């Protein structure tokens, strides 16, 4: 017997090797994950997961390995059945990091829906690591993220690379570019663009920011504050300038560029092949226009 919640939870555990990560993947409390696993093991009459006290992760028993094969076949059949149910509808579940969702994805969605007007689209926004886990678990068909994941079950491609620019409503002088030294007297708004960006901040002796913003949609109202400035990918600049009246300037200190990656599962892609193919065609035109 297959109970959807139990199978999805078991596969999340098997693929991530962690009850805590599985809980994030299926959007449930860790206690719920443990309960579902316990119910499944009782129904099957044998343990599926090896729980070692003090270990960082979990493994599968021989029965668990066998059940994983059955569960993945069941998962594939469910996807095929959903495709029959939807008849001539295509489905696509995509995930985007916040800034990509706001500033880049709108220019992709329109052309995609023109090519596939009957497409049923699901869009999630989360941190890059969480989105990659959702792709591995099969909850997302594709994700657009800022960090290149390393995972045997993922296929990763580079979509685009964007320089980082300074945005500020402060008076910065007549120059066409700006340095960190010119900005540091103001008030920095920090956004977590990744370890390489944090290292660049350390090298340039940027210390405690006046504000920390973890989601790009929260930046405009804070950026309007007196003397504030931030460093953002160039694709955000035009909309920020329109929304806040800020000035956009290239940086002479050359912060590391932001790369946007396409992430999908390396296996079990068949159910959404048509929709992913259409998305790839749209992105081909989008990248050409972007350059």
Q: Convert the pLDDT of each residue in 56-69 to its tens digit.
A: 578 899 999 999 98
CB 136 within 8 A of CB 15: yes
Tokens of 130: 């969480």
Looking at CATH, the fold of the domain delimited by 91-161+259-290 is given as: D-Maltodextrin-Binding Protein; domain 2 (3.40.190)
Where are the CATH 3.40.190.10 domain residues in the chain? 91-161+259-290, 164-256
- The confidence score (pLDDT) of residue 96 equals 94
Strand partners, 95: 124, 143
CB 177 within 8 A of CB 252: yes
List the CATH code of the domain at 164-256.
Answer: 3.40.190.10
At 115-165, the pLDDT tens digits run 888 888 899 998 888 899 889 888 899 999 998 888 888 889 999 999 999
Helices marked H in 59-157 — which ranges?
A: 62-85, 98-103, 106-115, 128-137
**Main-chain dihedrals φ then ψ at residue 188, nearest 5 degrees:** -80, 140
| H/E element, 125 | strand 120-125
Instruction: Please identify, in words, the CATH class of the domain defined by 4-85.
Output: mainly alpha
Where are the CATH 1.10.10.10 domain residues in the chain? 4-85
Per-residue pLDDT tens listing for the chain (291 residues): 678 888 889 999 988 888 888 888 888 898 999 999 999 999 888 899 987 655 557 889 999 999 998 888 888 787 766 665 555 567 889 999 999 999 998 888 888 888 888 888 899 998 888 899 889 888 899 999 998 888 888 889 999 999 999 998 877 666 778 888 888 666 899 999 988 999 999 998 888 898 999 989 899 999 988 888 999 999 999 999 999 988 899 999 889 999 999 999 886 554 567 788 888 888 887 765 565
The closest alpha carbon to 264, from 252, 273, 255, 253, belongs to 273
């Amino acid at each position: 017997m297959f109970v959807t919640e139990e199978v999805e939870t078991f596969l999340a555990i098997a693929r991530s090797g962690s009850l805590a990560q599985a809980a994030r993947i299926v959007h449930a409390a860790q206690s719920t994950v443990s309960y579902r696993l316990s119910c499944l093991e009782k129904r099957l009459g044998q343990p599926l997961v090896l729980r070692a006290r003090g270990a960082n992760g979990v493994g599968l028993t021989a029965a668990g390995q066998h059940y994983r094969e059955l569960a993945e076949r069941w998962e594939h059949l469910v996807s095929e059945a959903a495709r029959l149910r939807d008849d001539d509808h295509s489905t696509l579940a995509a995930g985007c990091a916040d800034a990509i969702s706001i500033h880049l994805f709108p220019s992709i969605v329109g052309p995609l829906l023109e090519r596939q007007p009957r497409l049923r689209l699901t869009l999630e926004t989360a941190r890059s690591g969480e989105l990659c886990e959702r792709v591995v678990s099969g909850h997302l068909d594709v994700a657009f993220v800022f960090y290149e994941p390393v995972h045997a079950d993922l296929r990763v491609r580079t979509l685009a690379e964007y320089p980082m620019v300074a945005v500020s409503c402060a008076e910065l002088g007549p120059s066409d570019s700006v340095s960190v030294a010119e900005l540091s007297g103001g008030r920095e708004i920090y956004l977590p663009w990744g370890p390489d960006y944090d290292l660049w901040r350390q090298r340039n002796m940027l210390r405690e920011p006046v504000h920390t913003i973890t989601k790009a949609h929260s930046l405009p109202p804070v950026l309007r504050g007196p003397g504030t400035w931030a460093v953002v990918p160039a694709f955000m600049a035009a909309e920020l300038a329109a929304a806040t009246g800020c000035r956009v300037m290239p940086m002479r200190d050359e912060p590391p560029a932001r790369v946007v990656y396409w992430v999908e599962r390396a296996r079990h892609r068949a159910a959404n092949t048509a929709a992913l193919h259409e998305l790839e065609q749209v992105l081909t035109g989008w990248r050409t226009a972007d350059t």
